[in-house]
Amino acid sequence: MTAHEAFPRDQHPSGEQYTAGYPFYDSFEPASPHTLIDRESELTSGFRVDPGQPYGFFTDTTLCIGCKACEVACKQWNSLPADNVDFLGTSYDNTRSLGATTWRHVKFVEQTPVADGENGDPRWLFLSDICKHCENAGCLEACPTGAITRTEFGTVVIQQDICNGCQYCVPACPYGVITSDKEGGGTAHKCTLCYDRLKGGLEPACAKACPTDSIQFGPLEELRARAQTRVEALRQRGFSEARLYGDPDGLGATHGVQSLHSFFLLMDQPNVYGLPSAPKLPSRNIVPGLVASFATGAFLVGATALALLGRK
Amino acid sequence: MKEALERTGNRASLTAEYTLGHAPSLQHRDREPPPDPSYFGLPAIKKPDWTWFVPAYFFVGGTASGAYITAALADILGRRTDRPYVAAGRFIALLGVLASLPLLVADLGRPERFLNMLRVFKPRSMMSTGSWALTAFGGFAGLAVGVELLRALGNRWPVLRALVWPLRVLSWFGVLPAMYVGSYTGVLLSATNVPLWAGNRFLMGPLFFSSAMSCGLAATSLVARLIGPRSPSGERRFALAEQRVLTTELAITAASALTLRGLARPLLIGRWSRLYQLGSLGAGLLVPLLLERLGRRGGFWSAVSSVLALIGGASTRFAVTEAGKESADDPHAYFSYTRP
């Protein structure tokens, strides 16, 4: 009996039929026969995956070699199509941006410093971009249907069977991550931080595939400590430009975003990587807007009332 | 200041610096700071793929809310001769709500799931509170038309007349959800990361509400003229109200320009700038206010003003929504909005 016969694609080992779409909507037992190694994450990342505490990614861009294994692993595990394959003229980046079917995107920054009219040594900056799984997520707050939720691993996931494709989450993301696929199923998509894999005790696909450990997966607290050590080590070695992006209330997590569960170590200012330095949580604009609106409303209703009461 | 003048060379480019965010002066190009870095100039945020249904809803829904408020005010404060205005406003409000629903549903990626909008209530989502407010407003708009029908049927069955008064008073409370429907669309746009919208967070709601109010007054006046007998007093008073609302809208627009400065670029030189300048500023605000100044008021001229105000309201919704998408595509605008 082949493995396929033993576990047909559309059938859970319990005999339950999978619902259409993403497999993680059914009850997926951590130690189901699908999990080849029980709690595999402990072997690959060094951390056990237990619900109830926040997990995230620390993407150390100084270790990235731009191999795009994370992009491929993500597409493969999540069954995402290869799309818009073309030469774009933007360095080795032929992906262009995160999208509905691209949840990891490696950015290639080429820099040639100019000093005294002479070109200095060029350098590469790579950054494997991904959903930041914000502590206060603009998309989650904007979603009118409750389709976007916070999971038991502290991550932000879109429930595909509830999203109705209103697209309000799209401009609410300060990092341009979440995207609606109008041509496809009509709903919004983004990285799930491999919710299904976490449930099965596995490390997320991109982190597992990363050959240089530029993408590190683990509990948030320990990742932050690790990142702090790394930044200090780099600074001691003379890389004073090393900085963290997404630390609590720090660079990249300002104005209500609080912190990023998927954070980065950058070697230049965030704009160079296409990231905002001081993002703003969109919901903070609601109260001032409504107060001003109702003041204007009262004023205009009064002005209209006076005009209608006029003697003429 | 002296340095700024020196840098920009002349007054004209100083104005340009204040409105565009930089001085496009060739002779001083070498002294200009290099543009902010970005990643290949690619957009740093995503824009929604909303079709024309969305700005069309902003216009229709806004007009409906303005018409409802106009009808309620005319009902409470107006004279006996204002009856056609009350009826017109109530019918426009209901028709506007009925036209809004297909526009909103058709724009969803999954239209069959439109009821999921009422699955939860989230105060931090303008789309959620707006959906609930529109639902409540729809109920009130139906109620107000019900009052109109009861009044008509009361002539035949006097029993129904007893219902008119309580329902009429109840319909006045619809002014609150109407105000929300008229203004929330602007706040909804501003509660995003799009620089043109979010950079104007205090004034987007007021701008959309004043436009809703002017469109509601204009539509009500035009329809009342068609269905009722001529009433010079009504024409004058409703035209005066319209002028006051348009003056407020002009002031809010000017204040928005001062707030946004360089972020308003798509409305100055973008693909939608012509529509904004001719439709919203010219036809919608300046021409009606100028006609009033020139003494062209009453009768024919106030009808012309009303038509122009409606054109202006529609242009504003389309131009601001579409120019916002352009501003979302400009990483420099976004980085200047998110500068620490």
For A214-270, the pLDDT digits (tens) are 999 999 999 999 999 999 999 999 999 999 999 998 898 889 999 999 999 999 999
Instruction: Look at residue B23 and tell me whether its pLDDT is greater than 60.
Output: no
Residues of chain B with pLDDT > 70: what percent?
89
Report CA B102 to chain centroid distance, whole Å.
19
User: Which pLDDT does position A60 carry in this prediction?
Assistant: 94
Per DSSP, A124 falls in state E
Q: Are strands A123-130 and A104-111 parallel, antiparallel or unpaired?
A: antiparallel
CB A169 within 8 A of CB A178: yes
Q: What confidence tens digit (pLDDT) does each residue in B113-150 have?
A: 899 999 999 999 999 999 999 999 999 999 999 998 98
pLDDT at position B157 is 83
At residue B196's C-alpha, the angle toward residues B281 and B290, to 5°, is 10
Mean pLDDT confidence for B54-61:
95
Instruction: Say whether residue A111 is in contact with chain B using an 8 A CB cutoff.
Output: no
- Cβ distance A297 to B182 less than 8 Å, yes or no, reads yes
* Chain B contact for A229 (CB, 8 A cutoff): no
The overall average pLDDT reported for chain B is 87
- pLDDT given at position B10: 46
Distance from CA of A42 to the nearest CA of B (A): 36
Residue with tokens 């603009």: A138
Burial class of B261 by CB neighbour count within 10 A (0 to 12, 13 to 18, 19+): middle
For the cut 70, the answer to whether the pLDDT of residue A6 exceeds it is: no
Can you tell me the distance from the alpha carbon of B104 to that of B292, in angstroms, rounded to the nearest whole number? 36
Q: What is the pLDDT of residue B303?
A: 85
First to last CA, chain B: 24
Interatomic CA distance for residues B17 and B265, integer angstroms: 11
User: Which band of pLDDT confidence, cut at 50, 70 and 90, is reported for residue A2?
Assistant: very low
Nearest-Cα residue of chain A relative to residue B125:
A142
Closest partner residue to B187 (CB to CB) among A170, A251, A293 is: A293
Give the per-residue pLDDT at B13.
46
Cα–Cα distance measured from residue A77 to residue A75, given in angstroms and rounded to the nearest whole number = 6
From chain A, the residues in CB contact with B233 under 8 A are 312
Cβ–Cβ below 8 Å for A274 and B39:
yes
| Residue B300 CB neighbours (<10 A) | 9
Mean pLDDT over the full length of chain A: 86
- Higher-pLDDT residue of A88 and A303 is A303
- Closest CB to A307 among B182, B183, B244: B244
A58: pLDDT strictly greater than 60 = yes
Nearest chain B residue to A176 by CA distance is B45
> Which residue of B lies nearest to A136 if distances are taken between CA atoms?
B124
A141 with B42: Cβ contact below 8 A? no
Alpha carbons A173 and A171: distance in angstroms, whole number: 5
Q: B39 and A299: CB-CB below 8 Å?
A: no
CA separation for the pair B178, B93 (Å, rounded)? 9
This complex has an ipTM of 0.84
Q: Which of the residues A93, A164, A264, A287 would you substitute to probe the B interface, choosing the one with the greatest number of B C-beta atoms within 10 Å? A: A164
Taking residues A88-106, what's their average pLDDT?
A: 89
Of A188, A187, A189, A198, the C-alpha closest to A155 is A198
What DSSP string runs through A163-220?
-----THHHH-TTS--EE-TTTTSSEE----SHHHHHTT---HHHHH-TTS-EEEEEH
- Picking from A144, A164, A301, the nearest residue to B109 by CB comes out as A164
Closest CA to A179 of A87, A249, A95: A95
- Of the candidates B36, B191, B233, the beta carbon closest to that of A312 is on B233
| Yes or no, beta carbons of A173 and B45 under 8 Å apart | yes
Chain B: closest CA distance from residue A65 (Å): 18
Contact B108 A166 (CB under 8 A): yes
Q: What is the pLDDT of residue A9?
A: 47
CA A171 to CA B64: how far, in whole Å?
A: 27
User: Are A275 and B193 within 8 A, CB to CB?
Assistant: no
Residue B193 to residue A138, Cβ atoms within 8 A = yes
Q: Which residue has the higher pLDDT, B137 or B32?
A: B137
CB-based contact, A138 to chain B, within 8 Å:
yes
Comparing CB atoms, the residue among A165, A300, A304 nearest residue B109 is: A165
Token readout for A24 is 């993680």
Give the pLDDT confidence score for residue A213 in this predicted structure: 92
Question: Closest Cα partner for A168 from B151, B44, B126?
Answer: B126
Burial of B296 (0-12, 13-18, 19+ CB in 10 A): middle
Please give the single-letter amino acid code of residue B246. L
A20–chain B Cβ distance below 8 A for any pair: no
List residues bridging with A179 in a β-sheet.
A189
Q: Choose among B320, B213, B184, B308: nearest CA to B257.
A: B320
Query: Can you say how many angstroms the Cα of residue A90 is from the centroid of all Cα atoms in its chain?
Result: 22
Query: What are the chain A neighbours of B78 within 8 Å (beta carbons)?
Result: 308
pLDDT score recorded for residue B34? 55
Contacts of A71 (CB under 8 A, 6+ apart): A95, A102, A104, A105, A106, A128, A206
d(CA A55, CA A191): 14
Instruction: Using CB atoms, pick whichever of B42, B117, B244 lies closest to residue A145.
Output: B117
CB-nearest partner of A90 from B40, B73, B237: B40
Q: How far is A3 from chain B (nearest CA, A)?
A: 36
Give the N- to C-terminal CA distance of chain A in Å, as an integer: 93
Average pLDDT of the segment spanning B160-167: 84
Average pLDDT over residues A135-156: 94
Q: What is the pLDDT of residue A110?
A: 87
Six-digit token pair at B268?
Answer: 């100055």
Kindly tell me if the per-residue pLDDT of B2 is higher than 90: no
> How many residues are recorded in chain A?
312
Helices (H), B51-160: 53-77, 83-106, 126-154
Provide the shortest C-alpha distance from residue A185 to chain B (in Å). 7
pLDDT (tens digit per residue) in B228-242: 788 888 888 888 899
Spatial CB neighbours of A107, under 8 Å, sequence gap ≥ 6? A93, A125, A126, A127, A128, A129, A273, A274, B39
Q: How far apart are CA B125 and CA B58, in angstroms?
A: 17
